[in-house]
Amino acid sequence: MKDLSLHVMDIAQNSITAGATLIKVSLICCDGFLVFRLSDNGNGMDEELLKTVTDPFTTTRETRKVGMGIPLLKLSAEMTGGSFKIESRKGEGTSTEARFVIDSIDRIPLGNVDETLKTLIMANPEIDFEIKFQSEKSSFELKTEEIKKYLNGVPIDNFEVIDWIAGKIRDGLKVVFGGVLNEISG
């Protein structure tokens, strides 16, 4: 994966496959780290499966179809000197955290986070998304549940609504990460 936004897509697809109805995505810059967290209320995994998904070797040996991207994300975070953590409980949900050292030359750029979130919301109107960006500079939050309430019957996957949401997210990224991450101008 060439940027973090593609990992976000991939980890979110695991949550969707796990039947999640709520997916929380956060990107936080703090103390020299960029921390990506994604948690869901989907089916979760038992310990055995959890071990399998984080180990690239067991993953390639048997051709499982879910969670193939987890070892890639883990590797990508660890290459910067950061870390990776995944917690899951059967029947309760899964939460994934990848910490990247911001100044590492091995850190992949943020990429097109707004396109990832836009397509996720558009393609899964029945799932609620809670999005959070935070840095020392500012913070941003968007909850689709609130937007749905506000829309009061107009579907959230209406093209213009989706465009508005994407624009809102773009604004948020700029305000929170502009000048903080060098790929986003301040």
- Identify which of residues 9 and 181 has a Cβ nearer to other proteins in the complex: 9
Please pick, from the candidates 54, 76, 88, 116, the single residue that binds other proteins as defined by CB under 8 A: 116
- Identify which of residues 33 and 161 has a Cβ nearer to other proteins in the complex: 161
Please pick, from the candidates 22, 28, 49, 68, the single residue that binds other proteins as defined by CB under 8 A: 68
Task: State the Cα torsion 113-169-81-44 to the nearest 10°.
Answer: -80
Nearest partner of 126 among 38, 18, 20, judged by Cα: 20
Name the one residue in this structure whose structure tokens are 């996720």.
Answer: 120
Residue 162 touching other proteins (CB under 8 A): yes
- Identify which of residues 78 and 115 has a Cβ nearer to other proteins in the complex: 115
Residue 123 touching other proteins (CB under 8 A): yes
The nearest distance, CB 31 to other proteins, in angstroms, is 29
How many other C-beta atoms are found inside a 10 Å radius of the C-beta of residue 181? Answer: 21
The nearest distance, CB 103 to other proteins, in angstroms, is 26
Residue 151 touching other proteins (CB under 8 A): yes
Residue 158 touching other proteins (CB under 8 A): yes
Region binding other proteins by CB under 8 A among candidate stretches 30-38, 47-55, 85-93, 153-161: 153-161
- Identify which of residues 105 and 149 has a Cβ nearer to other proteins in the complex: 149
DSSP string of 104-127, one letter each residue: -TTPPP---HHHHHHHHHHH-TTS
From residue 81, give the alpha-carbon distance in Å to each of 99, 136, 174: 9, 21, 26
How many other C-beta atoms are found inside a 10 Å radius of the C-beta of residue 179? Answer: 11
Sign of CA dihedral 129, 98, 50, 56: positive
DSSP state letter for 178: B
Residues in contact with other proteins by CB under 8 A are 1, 6, 9-10, 13, 16-17, 65-66, 68-69, 72, 112, 115-116, 118-120, 122-124, 147, 150-155, 157-164, 167-168, 171
